[in-house]
């Protein structure tokens, strides 16, 4: 019950912060026009809105296990695909960010399959989307530590999802026309850093440095 009380008090703060201002409240009531679609993980530690300090209406968020994007197929009917279609074709977002993170439970389930106490096994079936990533990591990094393999798979799955986004014709067309940008971000929970994939350097680079480095840089300035 303590959690419920915390949630109710949190809503009261939200109410005072956003709904007590007539202009903000009127804007929220009339509809949404976010410029960004974020495809993030369901992990309770990685809330895209909280991580980026966004306000209501700033981003359209799709969350699933391991922030995966299924490829476009003729029989695609997943909630993820329909949400992406709505954001791109309906809301006409200007950018898509695939936000992955360290210590992802979905990636660990992919790399070290363990059946859950369930007769449906939905998680394993969903994670098959990233099976090519698992095979590649195990082949190319077979002599690396398990932790190194996990991290590599977490990052590579982001790139796999970005590739899968381009299988949707209405996304590929907008990207080629310069009306839509795709980004791959990685939240390193251990260091507190935010990394972004650089197509030019073909690696993830710090977009926001770890907290210790940021504070050291400020002190030296």
pLDDT at residue 174, rounded to an integer: 98
pTM, two decimals, is 0.91
Angstrom distance (rounded) from CA 3 to CA 166:
40
Which one has a higher pLDDT value, 19 or 89? 89
41-52 pLDDT, tens per residue? Answer: 999 999 999 999
Predicted confidence (pLDDT) at residue 89 exceeds the cutoff of 70: yes
Alpha carbons 169 and 164: distance in angstroms, whole number? 11
Structural domain boundaries of the chain?
1-31, 33-220
pLDDT tens digits for 193-219? 999 999 999 999 999 999 776 555 555
Give kind and range of the element (H or E) at residue 41: strand 36-41
- Whether the CB-CB separation of 90 and 62 falls below 8 Å is answered with no
In CATH, 33-220 is 3.40.50.300: no
For residues 182-199, give the mean pLDDT: 96
């Amino acid at each position: 019950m303590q959690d419920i009380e915390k949630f109710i008090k949190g809503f009261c703060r939200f109410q005072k912060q956003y709904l007590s201002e007539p202009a903000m409240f009127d804007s929220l009531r009339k509809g949404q026009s976010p410029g960004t679609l974020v495809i993030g993980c369901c992990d309770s530690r990685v809330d895209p809105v909280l991580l980026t300090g966004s306000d209501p209406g700033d981003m359209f968020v799709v969350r699933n296990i391991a922030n995966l994007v299924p490829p476009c197929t003729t029989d695609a009917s997943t909630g993820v695909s329909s949400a992406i279609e709505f954001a791109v074709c309906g809301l006409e977002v200007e950018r898509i960010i695939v936000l992955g993170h360290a210590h992802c439970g979905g990636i660990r389930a992919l790399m070290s399959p363990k059946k859950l106490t369930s007769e449906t096994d939905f998680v394993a079936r969903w994670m098959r989307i990233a099976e090519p990533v698992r095979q590649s990591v195990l082949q190319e990094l077979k002599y690396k530590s398990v932790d190194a393999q996990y991290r590599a798979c977490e990052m590579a799955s982001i790139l796999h999802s970005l590739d899968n986004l381009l299988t949707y014709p209405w996304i590929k067309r907008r990207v080629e026309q310069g009306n839509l940008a795709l980004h791959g971000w990685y939240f390193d929970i251990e260091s507190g850093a935010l990394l972004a994939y650089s197509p030019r350097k073909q690696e993830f680079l710090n977009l926001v440095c770890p907290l210790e480095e940021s504070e050291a840089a400020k002190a030296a300035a």
